[in-house]
Amino acid sequence: MAEQKKRNPRIESFILTLKILFQSPASVFGVVVVLFYIAIALIDQFDPSLIGLTNVNYLTPNFTIPEPLPPSPAHPFGTVYPGIDIYTGILKAIRIDIGFSVFVVVFGSVSGVLIGIISAYFGGWVDEIVMRITDIFFSIPYLVLAIAIGFFMGRTLLILSVGLIIIWWPIYARVVRGQALSIKEQTYVEAARASGVGNTKIMFRHILPNTLAPIFVQFSFDLATIVLTLATLNFIGFAPSNSFLPDMGYLSAIGYEYAVVGDWWTIVFPGFGLLLFALAMNLVGDGLRDALDPRLRR
């Protein structure tokens, strides 16, 4: 009993969050699907032969039978020109799409959180400048800005991801700033300052942990948005038509010509793969928002 009482309050809080999260069937569905996608991405990364994949960086064409074939036992989701098996294509795409999304959201949120907390803590002209800069980023539709960055700086996945990080940090900066502004007025922060704790320590030990709840929520919604954004960019032509990039947007793009003449499977399955992940991630985000809401936790 004595041991239980000594348990870390952070761990207690984490367990409570999970408990509330798993009360909703929709969130459970979301978590299960997301874990499934992550498992596939990890298998692709470390041991692709486990699910029968070879050459995970490129879609494998089969030029002996290039024309699209309908779903069959050999090709559960059918094939698309030039003889690409859609099922294995989607399995490969999961790694690229999710890896890309995690990369963008992690770097975007970390830089946004740092900038936001500094902006709120120091206030004054620092805050004013940071907020005007975020205004500027919000003045261009994000997809259009991503297109412009990709167009002028290079159409590679790396540059697209850097472009999206540049576009995404302002959201986190704004969310954290809003939180931090109210927290820095709390008495415990004043107490820490009065007892001589340094600025850096106050920011990161006392303010930061209390701003994280809305960040996690934003984080899960953005994982979905970035996956869709990357697919959209590749769909409208950022992946060259002969690149064989395993991405669900690219798969849909090459399938579209054939879907128009009746080969429905060439677009239905890649699109559904995207929809399922984005839906699951959004459900997790919505569940987290409820689970982390202080009004519901008491």
Contact residues: another protein, CB under 8 A: 132-133, 135-136, 138-145, 147-149, 151-153, 224, 228, 231-232, 235-238, 248-249, 252, 256, 259-262, 264, 267-268, 271, 274-275, 278-279, 281-283, 286
The helix/strand/coil state of 226 is helix
Q: Which is nearer to another protein, 94 or 208 (CB)?
A: 94
Omega before 68 within 30 of 0, i.e. cis: no
CB of 294 to another protein, least distance (A): 17
Burial pattern 108-142, b for ≥16 Cβ within 10 A else e, equals bbebbbbbbbbbbbeeeeebeebeeebeebeeeeb
State the nearest-atom distance from the C-beta of 117 to another protein, in Å: 22
| DSSP-derived 3-state class of residue 80 | strand
- Provide the minimum distance between the beta carbon of 290 and another protein in the complex, in angstroms, as a whole number: 12
192 versus 268: smaller Cβ distance to another protein: 268
Q: How far is the CB of 75 from another protein (least distance, A)?
A: 21
DSSP 8-class letter at 85: E
- Rank residues 203 and 226 by Cβ distance to another protein and give the closer one: 226
| Burial class for 191, CB neighbours closer than 10 Å (0-12, 13-18, 19+) | exposed
With respect to another protein, which residue has the nearer C-beta, 92 or 174?
Answer: 174
**Minimum distance of another protein from residue 163's CB (angstroms):** 10
**Spatial CB neighbours of 283, under 8 Å, sequence gap ≥ 6:** 26, 27, 29, 30
Beta strands in 30-112 (DSSP E): 79-80, 84-85
CB of 55 to another protein, least distance (A): 26
Q: How far is the CB of 141 from another protein (least distance, A)?
A: 4
Nearer to another protein, 197 or 271 (CB): 271
Residue placing its CB nearer to another protein in the complex, 48 or 266: 266
| 159-184 as b/e: b if 16+ CB within 10 A | ebbbbbbbbbbbbbbbbbbebbbebb
Helix (H) or strand (E) holding 21: helix 9-21
If the CB atoms of residues 53 and 100 are measured against another protein, the closer one turns out to be: 100
**What percent of the residues of the chain are helix, what percent strand, and what percent coil, each to the nearest 5?**
75, 0, 25
